[in-house]
Amino acid sequence: MKKSSQTIIHITPKQKTAFFSVREIWKFRSLLRQMIKRNINSRITNSPLTLVWGFIRPAIMTLAFFYIRRMANADMGQEIPYSLFIFSGLCVWFLFSETTANVAHSLKTDAGLSNKVYFPKILSPIAVLLGRWIDITFIVAAIIAFQMVLSIPIGIEALLIVVIMVMLLLLAFGFGILFSGLFLLHQDFRKIFETIIYLGLFLSPVIFSKEILPPIIQKYYSINPMVGILTGMRGVLFGPEEVDYFSLGVSFVFTVVLIVVGVKTISWALHNFEDQL
């Protein structure tokens, strides 16, 4: 049998490095800036509605849920107007789900580039993450604008929204890199990922307050990391709502653990299944 004359080129760093290496990230910081700029520009160019879609879609769904709740005369347990409650929840949820999905698919998106030149693959998910600041700015501005229209007071605590949004992005980063590694193991994990994201909308306090749940369920409900983030967001922005610091602490611990597990999973997957890219 005639042997193939094709030359196989392996693109690797001069020295073996960890998947998450601060030194490598700093070394390729110029490329990271270019990737962030590319991600932002490509989204805006491909879809001019990108900057406003983050709150237009929640606004449309808010109308639907508002009238469903009104017809059912259901008590959702919120202390602020339900329209603001659900609008803020949907804005934050869609930001989280889209960021998670983009992070999870970032390695595949940049596969063409990584097959030509070497760069730390961690740059791909980080570029997606840091490129979301513009979405956060528009979404938070829309929520506060709606809050002012409804004459809901806003205090100095609103500045803590920056901390809440950072936690949200880090949580999305952890979920994203975990499933990015799992995607390399088997395609079925994509279906699992889509199912978790879909169910998360209804299992998180997006359209209802956790106060309507029985006390025994509330005790374990904080295991869902989005509980702390959503209640924290509403607590720092809306006066009548209160920050659930216990749930927020659980969200923080969950996020840290998830990032560590995610980094280890994707490092192992890339080492053993990198050809799947």
pLDDT in tens, 77-90: 777 888 899 999 99
For 161, 191, 230, the CA distances from 235, given in Å and listed in that order, are 9, 34, 8
pLDDT of residue 275: 62
pLDDT of residue 172: 95
The rounded distance, in Å, linking the Cα atoms of 61 and 125 is 29
- Average pLDDT over the chain reads 84
pLDDT of residue 269: 85
pLDDT of residue 9: 44
For 8, 17, 36, 128, 131, the CA distances from 21, given in Å and listed in that order, are 27, 7, 18, 17, 20
Percent of the chain topping pLDDT 70: 87
pLDDT of residue 47: 67
Question: What is the rounded radius of gyration, in angstroms, for the C-alpha atoms of the chain?
Answer: 21
Mean pLDDT of 160-179: 94
* Confidence class for position 92, pLDDT limits 50, 70, 90: very high
pLDDT of residue 252: 94
User: Which ranges constitute the DSSP H helices of 48-187?
Assistant: 50-72, 82-104, 106-109, 111-114, 123-130, 133-149, 161-185
pLDDT of residue 188: 86
The rounded distance, in Å, linking the Cα atoms of 156 and 48 is 33
Mean pLDDT of 224-245: 88
pTM, rounded to two decimals? 0.86
Instruction: With both helix axes pointing from N to C terminus, report the angle between 133-149 and 161-185 in degrees, rounded to the nearest 10.
Output: 130
The rounded distance, in Å, linking the Cα atoms of 84 and 186 is 40
10 pLDDT above the threshold of 50: no
